[in-house]
Amino acid sequence: MANALQQIIRQRLDRQGWSYGDVARRGGIPRSTVHHLATSDRLARMPQPATLEGLARGLDLPLDSVRRAAAEACGIHLYPTTPEEPAGAPADPEVDLLIASVQRLSAEDRRHVTALVESLLDRAPKKPADGTGDRRES
């Protein structure tokens, strides 16, 4: 059975009558890359952002759709955007990858990651409750 990325590539090729070369030219990426993404049952790692952008351009599909299909083909679950983000805000692939990767860690390793994140957040400058920030007196 084809993975999600293979499915959207095949659907677009069939619907538009395009070849791998057509998609590659339209997206500015190598034909071999399009072929690899279209024929690999499971991707070993998430394609580079530039590759996903080129593939989305070449297929004339939204980048988010291509990114989610590629993530699924890698066995990564991407979470929906947070309520604080405006609709249509671009996803942050680093955040998506971090979230998905944490799920694959052991319980002990997740505790270490949690402690690291908490310590990094504790280092961040604190904002006063009144919202004034850290303005300096002149």
Q: Is residue 11 domain-resident?
A: yes
Decide if pLDDT at 53 tops 80: yes
Q: Which domain holds residue 94?
A: 4-80+89-123
pLDDT in tens, 70-125: 988 888 766 655 555 544 445 555 665 666 666 677 889 888 888 888 888 887 66
The reported pLDDT for the residue numbered 97 is: 60
Q: Is residue 60 domain-resident?
A: yes
Average pLDDT over residues 118-136: 63
Q: Is residue 132 domain-resident?
A: no
The two three-digit tokens of residue 48, written as one number: 């580079």
In sequence order, what are the residues at sequence separation of 6 or more whose Cβ sits closer than 8 angstroms to the Cβ of residue 91? 64, 67, 78, 81
The answer to whether 73 and 81 have CB atoms below 8 angstroms apart is no
Q: Is residue 70 domain-resident?
A: yes
Q: Is residue 133 domain-resident?
A: no
Domain count, the chain: 1
The reported pLDDT for the residue numbered 87 is: 45
> What mean pLDDT, rounded, does the chain reach?
80
Average pLDDT over residues 61-77: 86
Tell which wins on pLDDT, 126 or 72.
72
Q: Is residue 43 domain-resident?
A: yes
Q: Is residue 102 domain-resident?
A: yes
Tell which wins on pLDDT, 78 or 39.
39
Q: Residue 46 sits in a domain of what CATH number?
A: 1.10.260.40
The reported pLDDT for the residue numbered 79 is: 61
